[in-house]
Structure 1
Amino acid sequence: MKILTPNELASIERSVDSGTKEQQQIVQSIIADVRERGDEALLEYTKQLDGASLQQLRVTQEEFVEARQSMQQYDIDILQEAALNIRRFHEKQQRPSWFDTQKDGTMLGQKVTPLSAVGVYVPGGTAAYPSSVFMNVLPAVVAGVERIVMVSPASKEGTLPAEVLVAAEIAGVEEIYKLGGAQAVAGLAYGTESVPAVDKIVGPGNVFVALAKRAVYGDVDIDMVAGPSEIVVLADDTARASDVAADLLSQAEHDERSSSILVTTSLQVANKVREEVDKQLETLPRRAIAAKSVEDYGGIILCNSMESAIDVVNSIAPEHLEVMVEEPMSLVGSIKHAGAIFLGRYSAEPVGDYFAGPNHVLPTSGTARFSSPLNVDDFVKKSSVIYYSKQALETNGDKIARFARLEGLEGHARAIEQRKDDSQ
């Protein structure tokens, strides 16, 4: 890993899933085709792109049963406990509707309503991600979403991983379709004979999924367009180099474009971490991916003070931030931009990925400057409620009409004065 100064931070490239022009054209073509031909197009793309020849897209009840029977009960128990932790955390995010009545009889308020239908994309094909099921589904469940539809690409044998199906069952999802890629996003956004249209699409995916979500945004809502995974470790001279290296590699193994950065005030820690990264890479099963990630998007930023180090962290606005210093709580107030903050040696990033409870769907590519982790608010909408009394209109009508005329909108002013005339 390169050791750099704060001024050299810009030399660490960040990867963004903006896609090539050719990829964008492919996505637009797939979306248009699915809108025109529905299920026929979905089945063709599933065979062509995923290698799965399907007779039907929806997962059957028998497949749910087989999935549960194929898993060890101990593993199912772990999934159930993780789901409970995640659900409890998100239950604390719930917001009630509220109404405020004033002395003149006016009532103002906000009505909170769950979305009617949400589509959840769970990556798959060659891997199983039950954690993606929980993190995207459970906030929607807590919010009270009426219909949750899940899509995930099938294997060439036409199956979904048992872990994914069991996680979906635990989370309360009954409607799952064997779909992946841009065609899955198109099916959810516009609906087909089998797949219902939804109001919002959430969940991570490859570049084609990201581009498709961008393309359908406006016809439906989306959570975010997530880039490659990121981690920043903020460390002083008390941090253990072996811990830091392991945590950096835990993100580097995701993707060759993942970013793993150490920001430290200790040259000794910096040098030891470099040695540990090389050492631990030797036995890492996904060594080739992690090594490429570290080489292209990793680095060590050496700072002359903790204040400077925190400035660097805030400028990066990382998806994951680990604070591995002597007194981590003392720095929380100074951290302005981070998707998730992990404090102390025992709060390794995978704790948040799988089990603690907070959501692991986090802003990437610096968007933590202005956005938040996926949460219950993402699955509700808010309506303003206004009840103006006769007394309030008599008191404020002239001012409202005058305001309208300041904007040159005579019709607005007359709509107020019509009611004032009727009240006299």
Structure 2
Amino acid sequence: MRIHTWHQLTRDEQRLLLKRPASSSSADLQSRTRDILHDVRERGDPALFEMTARFDKVDLENLRVPPPKVQEALERLDKATRQALETARDNIERFHRQQLPRRIEVPTLPGIRCFRETRPIERVGFYIPGGSAPLPSTVLMLGVPSLIAENPVRVLCSPPQPHGEIDSIVLATAALCGIDQVYRVGGAQAIGAMAFGTRTIPKVDKIFGPGNAWVTEAKQQVAAHPEGAAIDMPAGPSEVLVIADDDANPLFVAADLLSQAEHGPDSQVILISTSERMATACLAAIDRLLPRLPRRDTAAEALANSRCFVVKDMETALQISDDYAPEHLILQINEPEVWARRLRNAGSVFLGAYSPESAGDYASGTNHVLPTYGHARAWSGLSLESFLKQISFQHLSREGLAAIGPAVEHLARLEGLEAHRLAVSVRLRPEDA
């Protein structure tokens, strides 16, 4: 990372430096993903067994993890790990339970009642990545809200490890969230299985969870398919933007930036500071901490796509952040809550020196499944409502219909929809029918 002085850059240079790494989607990826989804849709379980052998190098006899084995994984957890997971689970539950929507009823006119009620999505599917860094924290972020929402069917898919089993802590966390429909399948084929259903894996209505480029592309394709499934949100590589003033702690800032850089080589971290002295100190702290990381090579690749800007004032820093719309925004500044009131676009915001992004990733209570790649301009992170749907109702008496009938009939005539007008008139003036 090198320091750029914001006001010395042209508008084109500013836009170029804030540009995210190119999306990994390509025509070849789209085509091959489409082929995988088609094969799963047409052949079901046999296609899943073959792809697991081809892509994961594992020959399976069964796709489903037996429910007793899921529960056994929880019972085998060491005390410290279970306690950490339960702490995170309890905080996530406290925060999300407060999001339960209330029933709304409004008498818009005498004789007309409009109301809205909540229903759980019937069938939800969770994708949990495997690979070098399985994510039990994501099981919590999906499983806890769905437990509160009381989704009747909850399906979890995760790729098998070389020995043929799903990561034991992922299994234990599933049990902690009351999920017992767990399947050993990963990649785009897992998304296809949940979207279209197979003999073994139930079809779901909505799919949640992060993944690699194949999973992301598969989610987008099944969401567009008429027989597919809805998805949680558009997704891209992980990212963080840190705003630091002259009083920030450079070691804290460096650790926050590295915590996102280690996610993957396509992750991006941005530092904006009102102080060149602070920016220099933060970059020096990154150089000091980076060699200590087990994933230092990954983080170093991400840092190559990352930027550091020095700005004249806090207003400029916040404007850059809003234009960028980061997944995670950290304010290591004086009076962070005062400045935060001006923000418009961010997935999740961390206020003050002692609010690392890691807390939100694991255990503070907020959800870590967030919009990336600028989607925070229009999308929110996961919440309890992501697992629910709202249905509107209305009840009209004859008097109520008579009160709005003339307006409805007039509007129907304006739109040239005679049957709409007729649906009112036959009720109010049946003799004219």
Say whether the fold is shared (TM-score over 0.5): yes
Q: 1:129: which partner in 2?
A: 135
Are 2:10 and 1:5 aligned? no
Task: Map 1:212-291 onto structure 2 (within 5 A).
Answer: 212-218=218-224, 219-291=228-300
Q: Is the 8 A contact 2:99 2:384 kept in 1?
A: yes
Deviation at residue 414 of structure 1 after TM alignment: 1.4
Distance 2:165 2:351 in 1: 39
1-structure distance, mates of 2:69, 2:59: 17
Deviation at 1:299, TM superposition (A): 1.1
Q: In 2, distance between residues paired with 1:400 and 1:423? A: 19
Aligned mate of 1:341, from 349, 354, 361:
349
Q: Is the CA contact (8 Å cut-off) linking 1:318 and 1:338 kept in structure 2? A: yes
- Structure 1 partner of 2:339: 331
* Counterpart for residue 57 of structure 2: 51
For residue 73 of structure 2, the aligned residue among 61, 67, 70 is 67
Q: Is the 8 A contact 2:67 2:181 kept in 1?
A: no
Equivalent pairs counted in the alignment come to: 423
Map of 1:309-388 to 2, 5 A cutoff? 309-388=317-396
Letter paired with 1:355? A
Shift of 1:100: 2.6
Paired residue secondary structure (2:65): coil
Kept in 2, the 8 Å contact 1:16–1:228? The answer is no
Are 2:64 and 2:181, in contact at CA under 8 Å, matched by a contact in 1? yes
CA–CA distance in structure 2, aligned partners of residues 206 and 147 of structure 1: 25
Residues 1:167 and 1:61: Cα distance change in structure 2 (over 3 Å): same
Paired amino acid for 2:169: E
In structure 2, how many angstroms separate the alpha carbons of the residues matched to 1:50 and 1:195?
A: 19
Indicate conservation of the 8 Å contact 1:115/1:381, yes or no. yes
Give, in whole Å, the separation in 1 of the partners of 2:71 and 2:317.
Answer: 52
- Contact 1:16–1:227 (CA under 8 A) maintained in structure 2: no
Kept after mapping to 2: 8 A contact 1:85/1:355: yes
Please, which of 171, 178, 182 is the counterpart of residue 184 of structure 2? 178
TM-score (norm 2): 0.95
Conserved? CA contact 2:329–2:349, under 8 Å: yes
**Greater CA deviation, 237-246 or 61-70?**
61-70
TM-score normalised according to structure 1 size = 0.97
Farther-moved stretch of structure 1 (242-251 vs 95-104): 95-104
1:18, CA displacement in angstroms? 5.1
Q: What does the per-residue CA deviation read over 1:3-50, in whole Å, with 9 as the maximum and x for residues that have no partner?
A: 113344323331354511111111100111011111000111111111
**Per-residue CA distance 1:319-375 (angstroms, 9 max, x = gap):** 111100122122111111111110111101101100100000011011111111101
CA contact (8 A) 2:159 2:186 kept: yes
- Please point out which of 315, 319, 322 is paired with 1:307: 315
Shift of 1:142: 1.4
C-alpha distance in 2, partners of 1:202/1:14? 24
Please identify, of 263-272 and 126-135, the stretch whose mean Cα deviation from structure 2 is larger.
126-135
User: SS at 2:63's partner residue?
Assistant: coil
CA distance in 2, matches of 1:399, 1:282: 71
Matched, 1:397 2:405: yes
* Alpha-carbon separation, structure 2, partners of 1:177 and 1:155: 12
Please state if 1:293 is matched with 2:302: yes
Q: How does 1:131-146 map to 2 (within 5 A)?
A: 131-146=137-152
CA distance in 2 between counterparts of 1:396 and 1:335 reads: 42
By how many angstroms is 1:301 displaced?
1.0
Residue identity opposite 1:200 in structure 2:
K
Whether contact under 8 Å (1:314, 1:338) holds in the other structure is: yes
Distance 1:102 1:328, change over 3 A: closer
The code of the aligned residue for 2:25 comes to G
Q: How far does residue 102 in structure 1 lie from its aligned partner after superposition?
A: 5.4
Counterparts of 2:23 and 2:142 in 1: how far apart (Å)? 20
C-alpha distance after superposition, 1:353-405 (max 9, x if no partner): 00100000011011111111101111111111011110122222122111101
Output the CA distance in 2 between the equivalents of 1:420 and 1:252.
67
Partner of 1:234, secondary structure, is strand
In 1, the alpha carbon distance for the partners of 2:422 and 2:77 equals: 69
Percent identical residues: 39
**Counterpart amino acid of residue 15 in structure 1:** P
User: Does the residue aligned with 1:40 lie in a helix, a strand or coil?
Assistant: helix
Aligned to 1:33, the other structure's residue is in SS state: helix
SS of residue paired to 2:264: coil
Q: Which residue of 2 aligns with 1:421?
A: 429
User: Where in structure 2 are the equivalents of 1:24-173 lying within 5 Å?
Assistant: 24-101=30-107, 104-173=110-179
Report which stretch shifted further, 67-76 or 167-176: 67-76
Amino acid paired to 1:11: L
- Aligned-partner residue type, residue 363 of structure 1: P
Gaps spanning 5+ residues in structure 2: where? none
Give the aligned residue type for 2:359: V
Contact 2:70/2:180, CA 8 A, preserved across alignment: no
2:323 aligned partner, one-letter code: S
Q: CA deviation at 1:111?
A: 1.8
**RMSD (CA atoms):** 1.5
Q: Is the 8 A contact 1:110 1:383 kept in 2?
A: yes
Residue type at the aligned position of 2:170: V
CA–CA distance in structure 1, aligned partners of residues 72 and 428 of structure 2: 69
